[in-house]
Amino acid sequence: MGDCTYMQAPKISFKKPIGSVCVSGHKFLGCPIPCGVVITRKEYMNTLCRDIEYIGSRDATITGSRSGHAPIFLWYAITKRGSLGLQKEAQSCIRNARYLHNRLREARIGAMLNEYSNIVVFEKPLDDEFSRRWSLACKGNIAHVVVMQHVTIEMLDLFVAEFLQKRSFWWFKDYGSSFQPRCIADEIGAANCSCSMHSLLS
């Protein structure tokens, strides 16, 4: 699959009915402190702005204050990578997320991945220790991972292999039979579920 497919992603524009756009610098960009940028429409900014007497100007920040270090960290992260570098990192994350999604589906693990996303949602592992070791975000019957820049194909292969091993062990321990995928159609949609009732739809 060529990287040109990623260029077809929809463009974000305020010509559409978008109220705001937020970018977290401490996530994808890896800044060492929580920071980010919020872009919003002028009328919303005017509602937020207020005159600050002791500095003799208007303030438009959400908390009424801001760190001088955060803009420096953001500037450095963006400048060091450049537009092309950031694009390549995003493409790599999306490509690896697609790889993980395909591996999970091949292993009959219900999984969902939105287009142009690096977040893979799948059925929650039966082993809580496994979930903690891999730092999975779990809720109810599902879990998800965010495939970031440091994630390699080898890590994803190891994750899926261990997932299957743990799943088979716990299922046989509890039920004494081969594993049957649980139904998670309500959480991620019938087309993404691998249970016996919905697997034919995928």
Catalytically annotated residues: 117
| Contact partners, residue 96, CB within 8 Å, separation at least 6 | 118, 147, 151, 152, 153, 156
Joined together, the tokens standing for residue 136 give 């999975």
Measured distance CA(38)–CA(44) in Å, rounded: 12
Could you tell me where the DSSP H helices lie in 108-178? 128-133, 153-175
Measured distance CA(143)–CA(89) in Å, rounded: 24
Joined together, the tokens standing for residue 108 give 């009959």
